[in-house]
Chain A
Amino acid sequence: ETRDIIYASESTVKSLDPHDTSDTYSGAIERAICQGLMGFDKNLNIVPLLAESYTFNEAATQFTFKLRKGIKFHDGADFNAHAVKVNIERMMTGKYKRSSLMKPVESLMVLDDYTVQFNLKEPFGAFVNAIAHPGSLILSPKALETYGDEVSKHPVGTGPFIFDQWVSGNFVTIKKNPDYWRGDVKVDTITFRPIPESGSRLAMLRAGQAHYIYPMPAELLKIAERDANIDIIKQPSIIARYLIMNTQFKPFADIRVRQAVNYALDKEAIIKIAWGGAASEADSIIPPNLQFYKKQAVWPHDLEKAKALMKEAGYENGFEVVFLTPNASNRLRATEMAQQQLKKIGITGSLQSMDVASFYNKLEGYRVDDAKPLPFIAFGGWSASTGDADWGTRPLISTEAFPPAMSNFGFFSDKKVDGFITAGLASANPDIRKKAYADLQDYVWDKAPWGYLFVDTMVAAKSKKLKGIYPMPDGAFSVEEAELVD
């Protein structure tokens, strides 16, 4: 009797080449097949994996990893410094979606068979996070040689599962690695099936046609909770949700208007209605699960204050904006509610929902020197996939991150903020970094660069029989310890 697990998810697998994958879901499956030098635990803490340990210099420009011995890839190739070199150098060619992770690297030196040293161009305190990122997984050098870039269809790693089959647009199957170095794998196969309709996904779980579903549609929690065979798993994530406003232009250039927006938003209602309750109100510019998070006071919902601020700023009669949102139903709902709530302080406007591609296309279309007649409010979301405060702030609120470079779509620019961000990267010393990010969080919270909303809670659901699969704060999941019990 084989133990086969079906994992039903919203998304489809796009690639199985870790270096050329940009989506979390594909990355998570890759993590079941391949491993990196470092990895994350359940709570997104960085733990050594294929590396035993690492050291770094004070200036955060040199990182040395000691590799674990005696590990073999699924195809029999040895894991060693050579394998790491091949992989890192592949990423450094700049051709792949995750090449940017190795952008700071000047060179990679093989000190001996089981020691590698990264030399960086400039200080980069968050480099270990980059190494732990699923984009930096290590593929078998043999497979890379055999398949070249076709490796995306034949990923070979050191992980608990061996790649079995991928029918593009349909399912991916992985099977047990009998020789896994960390111990016995307890299931025979896992099949990942895309079921985009959330109702269908839950229906499959309830009908026993799936063992684990993610995301569990929060709207349907009531049903799932009633079902005795189903376990609900909730887990705080690192996904921040916020409303982007163009801070370079009237009226959002006026901090009072931005603050009014924050007072006007009824985050609690939005979480409850639009998000099915699966979120917690934002209490800092970065989510609690990120490194160096520092809690702030939640912005209260206070219409009177909001109106007063609007009046003070000279917008007693309000103004018109356009609301932009991706057309995924929960984002649409949240934006729709923001539209309803902001109407109460006179910020009105039509809503445009569109597919994600068009959405970002549109946001990227704005330039800081544009003369856009109509200000916008856009529903933004960010998952700092390295788990580090730097990646949770720099691409979003630093001046260097104005599009098209990065994702500061609201053109928020503040000298002090830029200063804190630089300071946070200047050292790999956790204490120094912590201080910089704490200052940053304290400082920027009142500046209201966004309409703060909330941090997602990840909700998954599984059959009671299934143990050991859990979601991770970055939206990925871990299947290494999966187990079917009767």
Chain B
Amino acid sequence: MTEKITPFAIFWHKFKRRYTAMVAGVFIVLLVLAAVFAPVVAPHDPFLTDYSLSMMPPSLSHPAGTDLYGRDILSRIIYGSRISLAVGFTSVFVGALVGVTLGLVSGFFGGFLDGLIMRTSDVLFAFPGILLAIAIVAILGPGLVNVVVAVSVFSMPTFARIVRGSTLALKESLYVRAAKSVGASKRRIMFVHILPGTLSGVIIYFTMRIGTSIITAASLSFLGLGAQPPTPEWGAMLAESRDYIGVADHMTIFPGIAIFLTVLFFNLFGDGLRAALDPKTK
């Protein structure tokens, strides 16, 4: 093809053709903005109770209705996005940080260390994710911070595996061999040559994992192990509303949709990234 195409241009060209991913990207940006500017965007104080407004269906002043205590659901969803995004992002970030490090070390040094790390991740794999989270929360007690810890622990092994896989491949690559032959140190090879090469896989998984983490955190809240009231966490809102299905459906529907769309768009965004970063697609 013509010269002067930067990797980013190729990426962008492929990415923008996935219109679902573009829509997702826009949504995520809006969501982040809403979270950051929640006090400006939210029509009401998310903590303001007014028992006389208990469980009002959607109306002009409360577009998503009110909850049990007469709090504005839309405002709570907007404030809740702060928590869901923060939990999703932080837990995946921590998981990725540890996972990438372990995967890199494991793939690069091999041998005993590799065996140790991989067996450990096998073990973590062997405990079904949410059970692991429940166990961890059972040990640490409920609460958002512990949810983050739990969710990061079980997103970690996948990161480790992804990175280990591409590290193993890159370790054998000619350019790493070339770097070795000119005398590059192990550290240099690991961080300058191998690590950047593993990142595209990490980024893709990272985006998708945020969705999964948001759901897991919500599920933990649903099981009563997550965020504590009156925190406007989406999963907790759902858990709170489930006793009213059939009576006040808006209490279930709106937080449910918030989770669904957020996770959906993170997934679509991740799909788009994958397609765009995959050299096989055009």
Contact = CB atoms under 8 A, between A and B. Distances in A.
A329 B245 CA distance: 14
Contact of A219 (B51, B69, B142, B247): B247
B230 A219 contact: no
A197 B51 CA distance: 26
A61 B229 CA distance: 51
Nearest to B70: A273
Contact of A353 (B229, B242, B245): B229
Interface in A163-215: 197-199, 202
B229 A217 contact: no
Contact of A269 (B51, B141, B224): B51
B224 A219 contact: no
B263 to A, nearest CB: 23
Given A352-B228, A353-B228, A273 B68 contact: yes
Contact of A199 (B54, B229, B242): B242
Interface stretch (A332-340, A443-451, A473-481): A332-340
Interface in A294-333: 327, 329-330, 332-333
Contacts of A199: 242-243, 245-246
Interface in B210-258: 224, 228-230, 239-240, 242-247
B90 interface: no
B101 interface: no
Contacts of A340: 49, 69, 230
Contact of A329 (B142, B239, B247): B239
A interface residue count range (under 10 / 10 to 19 / 20 to 34 / 35 or more)? 20 to 34
Contacts, number: 64
A329 B243 contact: yes
A350 B47 CA distance: 13
B89 to A, nearest CB: 23
A414 interface: no
A339 B230 contact: yes
A28 B145 CA distance: 41
Contacts of A329: 239-240, 242-243
Nearest to B252: A199
Contacts of B242: 197, 199, 329
Contacts of A223: 246-247
Contacts of B239: 329
Interface in A123-137: none
Nearest to A362: B141
Query: Which of A202, A274, A327, A339 has the most C-beta atoms of chain B within 10 angstroms of its own C-beta?
Result: A327
A109 interface: no
A68 to B, nearest CB: 45
Given A199-B243, A219-B247, A222-B247, A327 B69 contact: no
A354 B141 contact: yes
B228 A350 contact: yes
A316 B143 CA distance: 31
A75 B53 CA distance: 59
A355 B246 contact: no
Contact of B229 (A330, A332, A358): A332
B143 to A, nearest CB: 8
Contact of B228 (A266, A272, A273, A351): A351
With a 10 A CB-CB cut-off, give which of B51, B141, B142 has the most chain A CB atoms: B51
Contacts of A197: 242
Contacts of A272: 51, 54
A217 B243 contact: yes
B246 A273 contact: no
B140 to A, nearest CB: 12
A219 B69 CA distance: 13
A377 B240 CA distance: 21
A220 interface: yes
Nearest to A340: B49
A150 B240 CA distance: 40
Given A199-B243, A273-B68, A339-B229, 6 more contacts: A220-B247, A336-B69, A351-B230, A352-B228, A353-B228, A354-B142
Interface of A: 197-199, 202, 217, 219-220, 222-223, 266, 269, 272-274, 327, 329-330, 332-333, 336-337, 339-340, 350-355, 358
Chain A to chain B: the 8 pairs with minimum beta-carbon distance, closest first = A327-B224, A219-B243, A336-B229, A269-B51, A199-B245, A223-B246, A340-B49, A351-B228
23 contacts: A198-B243, A199-B243, A199-B245, A199-B246, A219-B243, A219-B244, A219-B247, A272-B51, A272-B54, A273-B51, A273-B68, A274-B68, A329-B239, A329-B240, A333-B240, A336-B69, A336-B230, A339-B229, A351-B229, A353-B228, A353-B229, A354-B141, A355-B224
